[in-house]
Structure 1
Amino acid sequence: MLTTLAILAAVSAALILGALWGIWKPPSENTEGFMIALAGGALIVSVMSELIEPASAHISFLTLCIALLAGAAGFILADHFVMKKLGAESGGGLLLAVTLDGIPENLALGVALIGADPLTAAALAGSIFLSNLPEAAGGARGMVDDGFSKHSVLWIWTGTAILLALAALVGKLALSDVSETPLAVIRTVAAGVVAASLATEVFPKAYKEDKLWTGIAIVLGLMAAHGLSLMG
């Protein structure tokens, strides 16, 4: 349990560290884009190795496909709401996007920790950490530009970090006694959410900010996540 709490604390801390970074020393667009692409590359490996592959052993291919599509469709609808109501580039929009994306990601992390060696979940945790850090930095910077005080922004992102940590804890504790079949469906829906977020948010944003270095960053992320999975 201590290992689980340590992993959840590290992942959530990325939001607070990112907010501090964005408030007092915002990263350049190139740096932010490179880190987002790095996280995206790592998430590709983690989605397959920590979510889809374990799930495929317990549900049919048709069920897996339906669950993936359901997760992707749910994220796209939520993402459309964010862009339409708040604006994709606003600080509030980025905050809501991180929250909507982060809840299923952290639920997936909690589910991945069920019965798993801590190192097995390290790739997913590391990928979420890398994703949270630049997203929080960009969101916090945008909120300050929108007129929020620095202290208010920090408290808002700290609250978000706590919310996402609780989501992961719920995934670990509430689902620990669930049988393998519904657990596999939950894993696959979460995988669909993350995959859709990579296509619509992560990689387009990374390329917009870092251009051709995005390709190198994605490969480095793939290498890092695969290396961590081999350690498990």
Structure 2
Amino acid sequence: MMIFLVITIVSAALIIGALWGTYGKLPNWLQGNLLAIAGGALMLAVVLQMLQPAVTHSGLLATIGFTLLGAGVFTSIDYLIDEKLQSSGGGGLLAAVTLDGVPENLALGVSLISGNVMQVAALAGSILLSNLPEAAGGAKQMKESGSSNKKILLIWTGAAVLLSVAAIAGNILLRDVSKSTISLIDCFAAGAVIASLATEVFPDAFKKGNHWAGISTAIGLILALGLDQLGG
């Protein structure tokens, strides 16, 4: 029961964010600062919840290799979306959510196996904190580029379903997988997160939120630190 409740809440953030970005009034400054908060939270989550444990369980070289692989895959897909497909209508943020979200949700499914409520809350909170503003920003960009409301909601609902499936798969298929293997999955996700922060999240946050985005980034980091302490 708990797994479905947690997954529903985390994935629903994508749909709620898409509804907000499509139908709600989302001023640029608010969108930018929400993205900055999400970016700050993800910065800390990458280091404390993904890379640091990976060094312990899988070694430094494997951590470096899979982190670079994740960054390379995301950057390649993001390049294809922005440059080759000529898409500036939220496709990059959608790629960011899905590419780093799948491994993150796999890890969330695994964390639910342990039954550690605080650990689950920390990881789920960090994912939710990033999903909501990214979906809202991506949906708004899609609407501004001419996509229909129905198409936007279908796309983000599909992303929510995909991430839900990833979390359930993590809970079922990775139940007996070693910590080393889980760590490598986390490293791939971390690389994708880092690349998405550099190419999509922070540039967009600064463009829309101006210098206030720096303060919002710090707020996001502090919120993630609090969630991590709960998880500890």
Please state whether the residue corresponding to 1:176 is helix, strand or coil.
Answer: coil
Partner of 1:5: 4
Per-residue CA deviation, residues 14-73 of structure 1 (Å, 9 max, x unaligned), is 111111111211311110110111011111121122212222221221121111111111
Q: Distance in 1 between matches of 2:93 and 2:42?
A: 19
Shift of residue 116, structure 1, vs aligned partner: 6.1
Q: Please give the alpha-carbon distance, in whole angstroms, between the structure 1 residues aligned to 2:92 and 2:117.
A: 33
Whether 1:125 aligns to 2:124 is yes
Q: Give the residue type in structure 1 aligned to 2:205.
A: A
1:136 paired to 2:135: yes
Tell me what 1:60 maps to. 59
Query: For residues 115 and 213 of structure 2, what CA distance do their matches in structure 1 show?
Result: 32
Whole-angstrom CA distance in 2 between matches of 1:129 and 1:88:
26
How much has 1:224 moved relative to structure 2? 0.8
Could you tell me whether the CA contact under 8 Å between 2:92 and 2:200 is conserved in 1? no
Q: CA deviation at 1:97?
A: 4.5
**Identity across the alignment (%):** 48
The correspondence of residues 1-232 of structure 1 with structure 2, limited to 5 A, is 2-92=1-91, 94-115=93-114, 117-232=116-231
Structure 1 residues 185, 99: closer, same or farther in 2, change over 3 A?
closer
Distance 1:84 1:177, change over 3 A: same
2:78 touches 2:92 (CA, 8 Å); kept in 1?
A: no
Aligned length: 231
Q: Please give the alpha-carbon distance, in whole angstroms, between the structure 1 residues aligned to 2:156 and 2:229.
A: 33
- Per the normalisation by structure 2, the TM-score is 0.89
Provide the C-alpha distance between the structure 1 equivalents of 2:42 and 2:119, rounded to a whole number of angstroms.
14
Q: Answer whether contact 1:86 1:93 (CA < 8 A) is retained.
A: no
Cα pair 2:100 2:190 within 8 Å, conserved: no
Contact 1:12 1:162 in 2 (8 A): yes
- Structure 1 residue 94 displacement after superposition: 4.3
> For residues 224 and 96 of structure 2, what CA distance do their matches in structure 1 show?
24
Would you say the 8 A contact 2:70–2:192 is kept in 1? Answer: yes
> Contact between 1:16 and 1:154, CA under 8 Å: does it hold in 2?
yes
2:176 is aligned with what amino acid? D
**1:36 touches 1:130 (CA, 8 Å); kept in 2?**
no
In structure 2, the CA distance between the partners of 1:204 and 1:23, relative to structure 1 (3 Å rule), is: same
Secondary structure of the 1:135 match is helix
TM-score normalised over the length of structure 1: 0.89
Name the SS of the counterpart of 2:114 in structure 1: coil
Counterparts of 1:230 and 1:181, CA distance in 2 = 23
User: Is there any run of 5+ residues in structure 2 with no aligned partner, and where?
Assistant: none
C-alpha contact 1:123 1:226 (8 A) present in aligned 2: no
Shift >6 Å, 4+ stretches? none
Quickly say closer, same or farther: Cα 1:203–1:93, change in 2 above 3 A. closer
- 2:58 counterpart SS class: coil
Please tell me the residue identity of whatever aligns with 2:7.
L
Aligned-partner Cα distance in 1 for 2:18–2:12: 10
Task: Give the C-alpha shift of residue 217 in structure 1.
Answer: 0.7
